[in-house]
Amino acid sequence: MKLVRFGAKGAEKPGLVDRDGRVRDLSAHVADITGETLGPASLAKLRALDPVSLPLAPEGVRLGAPVARPWSFIAVGLNYADHAKETNQEIPSEPILFNKLGNTVSGPFDDVITPKGANRMDWELEIAFVIGKRARYVEEKDALEHVAGYAICNDVSERRFQSKRGGQWVKGKACETFGPLGPWLVTTDEVPDPQNLSMSLKINGEVRQKGSTSTMIFSIRTLVAYITQFMVLEAGDVVTTGTPPGVGVGMQPPQFLVPGDVMELEIEGLGKQRQMVVPFTG
């Protein structure tokens, strides 16, 4: 299934995408796309529905993030060797973890707001996974049983906040609108091999990132097992898994986002995103 949330910001309804690409309303069956909705039993009930029996959403309706505000939004840094190299950092021997915040999550086509004082905003195309059942000290062989599905994430970053302001990366990763997610949450039955998906990102129509999930240092299966040795992941939590090479900070000379720039992201089987960078207006 391709699960979505549609409607105005703060008033999204749950839905799914039918085989013709139309959004169908799931409101009569679930209140929202949350951790409770994403459990195995709940997903089985949704799969049993005939999409044609569901009401159509209004044509052209806004899509929000496909999972309601997560309890935890974890990110993985430097998970592609070429990306580590382009940013002049060592290839990690263990996954690097940091936090984004649940309130950074935004819709796949929503504007990205330039924070006050920002001058080194950057893009990061990533595949994210969403937890479907509580994950605690998970063994790698069982890891994907805890994943409900996958989505595109743009791990928008402010590099000066991240690297030049002291402390943790979260300063440059948790600004408002810095977590576009979606357009869909594609359930695992439709993604038989999440480690073999092509990825691309354009800025103003020019390809900047092109890669594959096959070149991750630490696979999704490994990440689930690793992360849950340190913390519990609850159903509905989001983990975004790192970016391939081609980010702005790695260019010669570095290039960063400014208001008016347009980011377009695509991952095979997971859809497309598009965001415009806009100035902070208070």
pLDDT the model gives residue 187: 98
18 in any annotated domain: no
**Tokens 């290839």, located at residue:** 91
Number of domains composing the chain: 1
Task: Check residue 58 and give its pLDDT.
Answer: 97
Residue 120: inside a domain? yes
Residue 35 included in any domain: no
Q: How many CB atoms lie within 10 A of CB 225?
A: 20
Judge whether 62 lies within some domain. Answer: no
pLDDT digits (tens, 9 = 90+) for 55-101: 999 999 999 999 998 999 999 999 998 888 888 888 899 999 999 99
**Which pLDDT does position 84 carry in this prediction?**
82
The stretches in the chain having pLDDT less than 70 are none
CA-CA distance, 156 to 108, in Å (whole number)? Answer: 12
CATH code for the domain in which residue 192 is found? 3.90.850.10
* Six-digit token string for 55: 């009401």
The answer to whether 201 and 264 have CB atoms below 8 angstroms apart is yes
Is there a domain that residue 24 lies in? no
Question: Does residue 116 belong to any structural domain of this protein?
Answer: yes
Strands 238-240 and 73-77: parallel
Query: What digits encode the pLDDT tens for the residues 37-49?
Result: 999 999 999 999 9
Q: What is the pLDDT, as a whole number, of residue 82? A: 82
Tell me whether residue 176 is in a domain: yes
Q: Which of 22, 81, 86, 96 is nearest to 54 (CA)?
A: 22
- Is 156 within the bounds of a domain? yes
Residue 183 to residue 187: CA distance in whole angstroms:
13
Owning domain of residue 209: 68-278
> What pLDDT is attached to residue 86?
86
CA dist 144 and 129 (Å) reads 10
For residue 166, what pLDDT is reported? 87
For residue 155, give the nearest of 169, 135, 166, 143 by alpha carbon.
Answer: 169
Q: Token pair for residue 82?
A: 């070429």
Which residue, 194, 214, 103, 100, is CA-closest to 152?
A: 194
Tokens of 102: 């649940």
